[in-house]
Amino acid sequence: MKPNILITNDDGITSPGITALEKELAPLGRLITVAPDREMSATSHRITVHQQVRYLSAGKDRFAVVEGSPADCVILASMQILKKLPALVVSGVNRGWNLGDDINYSGTVSAAFEAALQGIPAIAVSTYAQDKPEFVAAAQVVAKLAGRVIEHGLPPDVVLNVNFPQKWNGKVRVTRQGRQKAGAPTREYSWLFEKLSGGKAKVAAKPVDDNAQMTDYAAVSAGYVSVSPLHLDRTAHFHLELFSGWADGLADGDGSG
């Protein structure tokens, strides 16, 4: 039997990006689409806890979650809509890149992280926002990547964040998450982006790059499809030894102060 593949996004059930994914992923398995009933960009990993989350049928194996976040969609799909966990979750194709610092705000990437929390391999995919975004080509690349993930799996707690460039050079690079210098935001999904860039999508002018592994910013700027493995664990492992001594003297009754 073909595996179940869950598709979601933060642009809403009617977005062309989700339609492109449905077409390109169809040969790989049985598709179930569970997405917000409206635009839910920049909701990060928000989940609904103080009210019931409802969903409506939007066609065969398609469901619209009423006022639900992308993370809500993954939770609802895995707990109520599907009888067992899917083999893969694909979130996108998002209209607007999710690079560097913007990953922290992304509903698209957070849906993938929610899948990882449940032990499900996941891919997030985004493309540029201006003019006519290239949803189909981005979905085609991700379909090939999805085939490899279904075959080989992903390491525990790791998701793949894919960003498609405005002018693709036909190549793909594995990248690390970049950082922007202060004062150079590239939010493509809000009034802040409109105010700072006049509504023209762009990559950070001066991304921080220490010449190590190519950053997601640098790859997209150079025309590559960027594939960044991201990890759920936010522990600053490199600095654990530095802070271990700070615990001394913090507890009551330890004889200090």
Residue 192 pLDDT level (bands cut at 50, 70, 90): very low
Query: pTM to 2 decimals?
Result: 0.85
In angstroms, the CA 246 to CA 127 distance is 44
Amino acid at position 67, single letter: E
The helix (run of H) or strand (run of E) holding residue 32 is strand 30-36
Query: What pLDDT, on the 0 to 100 scale, is given for residue 141?
Result: 98
Q: Domain coordinates of the chain in residue numbers? A: 4-178+211-235
**CATH code for the part of the protein at 4-178+211-235:** 3.40.1210.10
Average pLDDT over residues 91-110: 93
DSSP for residue 176: B
- The pLDDT assigned to 253 comes to 59
pLDDT digits (tens, 9 = 90+) for 9-36: 988 999 999 999 999 999 999 999 999 9
Q: What is the mean pLDDT of the chain?
A: 85
Burial class (CB in 10 A: 0-12, 13-18, 19+), 111: buried
